[in-house]
Amino acid sequence: MEQSKVGRYKFMAEPFHVDCNGELPMNVLSNCMLNAADFHSDARGFGITFLRENKCTWVLSRLAVEMNRMPYQYESFEIETWCEKIYRFFTDRNYNVYDGQGKIIGHARSVWAMIDIDTRKPLDLLSVQSGRLVDYVDPDLECPMEKPSHIKLHEGKLVKEYTSQYSDIDINGHVNSVKYMQHILDIFPMEKYKAQRIKRFEIAYVSECYYGNTLSFYKEEPEENISDIEVKCNDTVACRSRVVFENK
């Protein structure tokens, strides 16, 4: 069955997933986007079935999300996803988020690579499956938000240390990509989430951390309402994030 270039998937803001405001937190919404990416690529022959047979895996490199509002407890929402561009080693995948009434409430942009599980080397996406990935690229669909930025800290201050536990570790033995987001969001006090909302969230993954590693979180504020965070493990950068708040 031929698949369209765009996939659209339904989700619900589960009661035990929402935050103190009754809204989906950014890490849970991002997890839904990663699931949508998974469903979309699997239906087009580049998902878990293909990956298992070819001993490779998709790796999320960057994610930037911009939301006008977050889905509220019990609200149904939909995520639309498509590939905007394929480079040799990376693909740009975009997302639109629709509320229960079909109104767009946000967007996201992500960058992915496909790596060989054994060598951890990236595969040439233009030649995987005889280049069939390119057939699904839709360069014209609009995703009206800035691309992921290059986050660079100058004098970050150590604000938190955290040692990874059982619940942080994924099937590959690494700290789960979504868990980094949660630990970053937990740097900010609940009072801040009561008074402000996250307008834009970005994360860029640099290197993997493992069970029992101590993660150090450094933070600086280049501008009012913008926090840049660098997570380090044994002096190596694991990921960087930018969180942009705005008053409610």
Binding site for a second copy (CB under 8 A): 14-16, 18-22, 25, 27, 31, 34-35, 38, 48, 73-74, 165-167, 169-171, 173, 176-178, 182, 185-186, 188-190, 193, 211-212
Type of residue at 70: M
Q: Cα angle at 183 between 247 and 194, to 5 degrees?
A: 25
The whole-angstrom separation of Cα 40 and Cα 38 is: 5
155 vs 191, beta carbon nearer a second copy: 191
Comparing CB distances to a second copy, the nearer of 52 and 150 is: 52
Q: How far is the CB of 22 from a second copy (least distance, A)?
A: 4
Q: In the bound complex, what is the minimum distance in angstroms from residue 160's beta carbon to a second copy?
A: 10
Q: Name the residue nearer to a second copy (CB basis): 24 or 111.
A: 24
**What separation, in Å, do the N-terminal and C-terminal C-alpha atoms of the chain show?**
46
Cα–Cα distance for residue pair 9/55, rounded to 1 Å: 27
Q: How far is the CB of 47 from a second copy (least distance, A)?
A: 9
Q: Which is nearer to a second copy, 69 or 152 (CB)?
A: 69
* Residues 69, 33 contacting (CB under 8 angstroms): no
Q: How far is the CB of 64 from a second copy (least distance, A)?
A: 18
Q: What angle do CA 93, 96, 99 make, to 5 degrees?
A: 155
Q: Please, what sign has the CA dihedral across residues 168, 181, 97, 81?
A: negative
Are residues 74 and 23 in contact, defined by beta-carbon separation less than 8 angstroms?
Answer: no
Which lies closer to a second copy via its Cβ, residue 54 or residue 149? 54
Q: Other CB atoms closer than 10 Å to residue 52's CB: what's the count? A: 11
Closest approach of a second copy to the CB of residue 139, in Å: 28
